[in-house]
Chains A and B, each alone.
Chain A
Amino acid sequence: MQGDVQFAGWWAAALRRSRAGFRGARDVSSKAVSATFRPPVTAPTQTGLQVQGVHLWRGERHVLRGVHLDAPLGTFWHVRGPNGAGKTSLLRVVAGFLWPEDGQVLWNGQETRGLGDEFGAQMACLGHEPALKADLTARENIRYLVGLRRSVADAELDAAFARLGIADHADRPTRMLSAGQKRRAAMVRVLLSGAPLWLLDEPFTNLDVAGVELFAGLLAEHAAGGGVVLATTHQPIPAPGVRTLELA
């Protein structure tokens, strides 16, 4: 028994050493970064989303170089930057799909890694792929995806589809929908998710002019209602009160 405990302790120490060594090697390769700078840990009373000093490598590339973002509830952020600046990577770090080499993401003052599935429920994502099955109708798709989070009534679905202007297409198989209509259907999912934090990667792709305005209006409305919106896009967002985070 004693031996087991010692063995486990030895392993934990070895693991820490190897991680430290890994980080050390990374830091040598990029001397420009002051990896020693760490902002003070935020008091747990703070609300909304904080990204603190996030460094991320993809292979040999140092994609995110100490990104900071303070997004309290009620703010709408436009994440900008040239191709390959790490816009998508930042959203994936916030969502918890990518683990940064350094830095942390806080939600309402708590580190998101520790929150686990709880944090997932606080967040709605719209990625490059709309997560719609071609063989199901738009309504079936959305009912399933929203249903994973909460109960959803037919009237609610109808209202949301009407809001996104695809009420006539809700009962067609998703494979028959155009790319823009699929985007709108995916937005129905985000709208009904009931999550305060919205992460949208290029939400305006494939949308017509009216669609861009509609989406921008919905995002601004969500932020005004006390949510947090992070959207990456290359075009200006036609909505008031949008703050910009520039990635180089």
Chain B
Amino acid sequence: MNAGERAVPTGMLAAGAATFRRDVVLAFRRPGQMLQPVVFFLIVTTLFPLSLSPQLSQLRDISPGILWVGALLSSLLALESLFRADLEDGTLEQWVISGQPLAVQVLARILAHWTVSGLPLVAAAPLVGASLAVPASAFGTTMLVLGLGTLCLSGLGAAGAALTLGSRRASVLLSLLVLPLAMPILIFGARGVDLAILGEPTRGPVLLLSALTILTLSLTPWAAASAVRISLE
């Protein structure tokens, strides 16, 4: 059975793409689990307008904060499962010995995770924004900064989730690890929404968030890959 001799070895990017595809397919087989973060996001953010005074101006002032805290918390909710199942069923071991760079697999996992948990938040943002009296003119920027911010969070979360793979109840530890690093995202993200609501230029926060996202996605896959290797010991 030397079929392997004729076959073409898989390239690094093709392997990453295969992991991305499989992760997305898997998520769609469990839609309930996939929609958990976005449902949580909707619940948290719509409770605020109901519980606060119905003055639109006041609601508008605090809406960036509510949007971002909701997004941050619902992203955290989804982080713990990033590598856990793969550790338990042996998939991580197969990644390590697949002959592919582990960091590329991790990056594919981060992007897939964002696609199924971050993108729904972005899609729900206009709905939440409308309930918080955010003007329609600010929807575009809100979605852009939420998209960048959640992508960055997925990257940070991958490193945190990989580091906490060894501990049983990791969710609190994971939050403690990730939250301090996520503060710049929260600050610039909320500032971006704030400026968009006021109708001022939002270039600054958007560029800063983009830079943070690029930095995170180029560093955390390596960190997470090392942590995954350690967790297999």
Q: Given contacts A97-B96, A121-B98, A132-B89, is CB(A150)–CB(B232) below 8 Å?
A: no
Is B51 an interface residue when CB atoms closer than 8 A count as contact? no
- On whether the beta carbons of A136 and B10 are closer than 8 Å, the reply is no
Given contacts A150-B4, A194-B4, A130 and B26 within 8 Å (CB-CB):
no
Contacts of B18 in A (CB 8 A): 144, 147-148
- Which single residue of chain B is at the shortest CB-CB distance from A125? B97
A79 at the interface (CB under 8 A from B): no
Confirm or deny: B24 has a beta carbon within 8 angstroms of a beta carbon on chain A.
Answer: no
Interface residues of B in 1-43 (CB under 8 A from A): 1-5, 7-10, 14-15, 18-19, 22, 25-26, 29-30
Contacts of B1 in A (CB 8 A): 160, 191, 218, 221-222, 225
B100 and A117 within 8 A (CB): yes
In the assembled complex, A63 has its CB within 8 A of some CB on chain B: no
Name B87-126 residues within 8 Å CB distance of A: 88-91, 93-102
Q: B233 in the interface, Cβ–Cβ < 8 Å? A: yes
Q: Among the listed A118, A131, A151, which residue makes an inter-chain contact with B10, where contact means beta carbons less than 8 Å apart?
A: A151
Q: List 20 A-B contacts (CB under 8 A).
A: A95-B93, A96-B96, A96-B97, A97-B93, A97-B233, A98-B233, A122-B99, A123-B97, A124-B97, A127-B90, A130-B89, A131-B91, A136-B22, A144-B22, A151-B7, A151-B8, A151-B10, A156-B3, A193-B4, A218-B1
A residues near B2, Cβ cutoff 8 Å: 194, 225
Contact at A125–B4, with CB atoms within 8 Å?
Answer: no
Question: What total of chain A residues lie within 8 Å of the partner, measured CB to CB?
Answer: 42
**Do A117 and B22 form a contact, CB below 8 Å, given A125-B94, A131-B94, A151-B7?**
no
List 19 additional A-B contacts (Cβ < 8 Å) besides A117-B99, A133-B22, A194-B5.
A96-B96, A97-B233, A98-B233, A117-B100, A121-B9, A123-B97, A131-B94, A133-B26, A144-B18, A144-B22, A148-B18, A150-B7, A150-B10, A151-B7, A156-B3, A191-B1, A194-B3, A194-B7, A218-B1
From 87 to 138 in chain A, residues with beta carbon under 8 angstroms from any chain B beta carbon are 95-99, 117-118, 120-125, 127-133, 135-136
A interface vs B, CB < 8 Å?
95-99, 117-118, 120-125, 127-133, 135-136, 140, 144-145, 147-152, 156, 160, 191-195, 218, 221-222, 225
Indicate the member of A121, A147, A148, A195 with the most B CB atoms within 10 Å: A148
**Docked-complex contact B97 and A120, CB < 8 angstroms:** yes
Contact B9 A150 (CB under 8 A): yes
**In the complex the two chains form, is B98's CB within 8 Å of A148's CB?**
yes
Q: Are A148 and B233 in contact, with the CB atoms below 8 A? A: no
Q: How far is the CA of A131 from the CA of B88 in the complex (A)?
A: 8
Chain A minimum-CB-distance residue to B90: A129
A125 to B94, CA, bound (A): 8
B126-180 interface (Cβ within 8 A of A): none
Query: Quick check: B89 and A131 within 8 Å, CB to CB?
Result: yes
Give the complex CA separation of A222 and B2 in angstroms: 9
Select from chain B the residue with minimum beta-carbon distance to A173: B29
What's the count of A-B pairs with C-beta under 8 Å?
A: 107
A151 to chain B, nearest CB (A): 5
Q: Which of A147, A156, A194 contacts B15 (CB 8 A)?
A: A147
Q: Which residues of A contact B8 (CB under 8 A)?
A: 150-151
- Check if A135 sits within 8 Å of B26, measured CB to CB: yes
Kindly identify which residue among A99, A121, A128 contacts B233, using a CB–CB cutoff of 8 Å: A99
How far is A215 from B145 in the complex, measured between Cα atoms in Å?
A: 54
Residues of A within 8 A of B90 (CB): 127-131
Most chain-A Cβ atoms within 10 A of its Cβ — which of B14, B19, B97, B233? Answer: B97
Instruction: Give complex CA distance A96, B89 in Å.
Output: 18
CB-CB under 8 A from A124, the residues of chain B are: 97
Given the known interface contacts A133-B26, A135-B30, A149-B10, the answer about A118 and B99 at a Cβ–Cβ threshold of 8 Å is: yes
The answer to whether B88 and A129 touch across the interface, beta carbons within 8 angstroms, is yes
Q: Give the distance in Å from the alpha carbon of A115 to the alpha carbon of B25 in the complex.
A: 33
Known: A98-B233, A99-B233, A118-B99. A148 touches B94 (CB 8 A): yes
